[in-house]
Structure 1
Amino acid sequence: MPSFNLDERLARATTLLTRLGLCQLRLMHDSRWPWVMLVPQRDAICEVFDMTPLDQTMLTFETAMTAKALKQVTGCEKINVGALGNQVRQFHQHLIARTRGDPAWPGPVWGHGEARPWDEAARTDFTTRLLDAL
């Protein structure tokens, strides 16, 4: 596998849950939303078109697989998927379970209030159910 170094800002904002075929699956340190991130384990990738066609296909597969598991575990109404990269250039993709009445509904989660750390028991329960669903 090619070399891979995770951007330190992504490392600080997330916890590694598992490694999929291409991506690391990471949990955001904000309990207000079930919010995970996929980070392809490739260096020097800023945009999806920087990846090989095979890696693009794997990213699509892993995104769909993770989104389906996230929806199954949370019972949410919508999965938001976004790859912004304005602050951290290393390619990473957010998957956020959204439900009517959540703290930012129906607007975007970015810039809404202050992050709330996960309670250890809630984090363990959520991550166990998500990993089981995968």
Structure 2
Amino acid sequence: MFRLHPRLSADTRLICHLSLCEVRLMNDCRFPWLILVPQRPGVTEVHQLEQSDQRLLIIESSHAARVLEQCYGTAKTNLGALGNLVPQLHWHVVARRTDDPCWPGPVWGCGERQPYPAAELEQRIAELQVWFTDE
């Protein structure tokens, strides 16, 4: 049975469920940052997914990147699956701008996470839900 890792649960908020992944918003207002979590128990690496799920992960992450690009007019989208602190497979989709606080370096290890104010977090989730349900 699929269960979300406690750290992902603490650091992110659910936007929606796609065919394979939960789409979650990283609670860091410095960047438009989505986390895609394949809903497959025990999977820690992309190569452990069935080939059909690997293809679906690419499709869903491409859709997530398009959503961020269209919503926020980003210069670049960073994708990553690190898993050093959270072994459960999760795919980072981070929209980057040339004026963001970590540009051009990676977001990981750059400064401190800045949680969204509560009202802004709820607004951001609602905005993104529209983009994922209006396909």
- Which position in structure 2 is the counterpart of 1:102? 100
Q: Is the 8 A contact 1:79 1:96 kept in 2?
A: yes
What are the superposed Cα offsets for residues 104-131 of structure 1, whole Å, 9 maximum, x if unpaired? 0000111111111102332233222222
Letter matched to residue 32 of structure 1: R
Q: Structure 2, unaligned stretches of length 5 or more?
A: none
Displacement of 1:76 in angstroms is 0.7
What RMSD in Å do the two structures reach over aligned CA positions? 1.1
* Aligned partner (choices 116, 119, 126) of residue 118 of structure 1: 116
Q: Is the 8 A contact 1:72 1:133 kept in 2?
A: no
* Aligned partner (choices 112, 124, 127) of residue 125 of structure 2: 127
Count the aligned residue pairs. Answer: 132
TM-score computed with the length of structure 2 as normaliser: 0.93
Map 1:30-41 to 2 at 5 A: 30-41=28-39
Instruction: State the distance in 1 between where 2:103 and 2:36 align.
Output: 23
* Aligned partner (choices 8, 15, 38) of residue 13 of structure 2: 15
Q: Structure 1, unaligned stretches of length 5 or more?
A: none
Letter matched to residue 31 of structure 2: W
SS for the counterpart of 2:15 is strand
